[in-house]
Amino acid sequence: MFTPDPLIAAAAIARTRAFAPYSNFAVGAALEAEGGALVMGCNVESASYGLTLCAERVAIVKGVSEGHRRFRRVVVVTDTDRPTPPCGACRQLLWEFAPDAEVVLANLRGVILKYTVAELLPAGFDAGNLGRRA
């Protein structure tokens, strides 16, 4: 997939690393941290299905483990006719670590959709709901 956007290109590369032997649904994600660092992730499936990790969550957890706490841009790449948005669990983690981020959904055919995290998860749950500062 050729694209002038390096974050979309990174997510497309991450997609090729997906471990999806059960669904054959490979997903790649790439995050841009506040400091500009790039973090990639792919989905990793489990035979028990419930332990499967989405590409977005893999990238967030990887980024946090590398010392990043906020992300300003998120890209998800799939090989579908219409780009695929993050699932509910991924939206929740995006709300917590990338509340102001642009979310770019792309497919291998060059279709690109753009949202904000707030558009994907209005009235999200965060530390403020626990009586703490977000």
Q: What are phi and psi of 43, to 5 degrees?
A: -75, 145
Q: What is the DSSP letter of 129?
A: G
The secondary structure element, H or E, covering residue 102 is strand 102-107
How far apart are the C-alpha atoms of 119 and 129, rounded to whole Å?
19
Q: What are phi and psi of 86, to 5 degrees?
A: -65, 150
The secondary structure element, H or E, covering residue 6 is helix 6-15
- Is 96 catalytic? The answer is no
Query: Pick the catalytic residue: 56, 66, 102, 119?
Result: 56
By residue count, the chain amounts to 134
**Enzyme catalytic residues:** 56
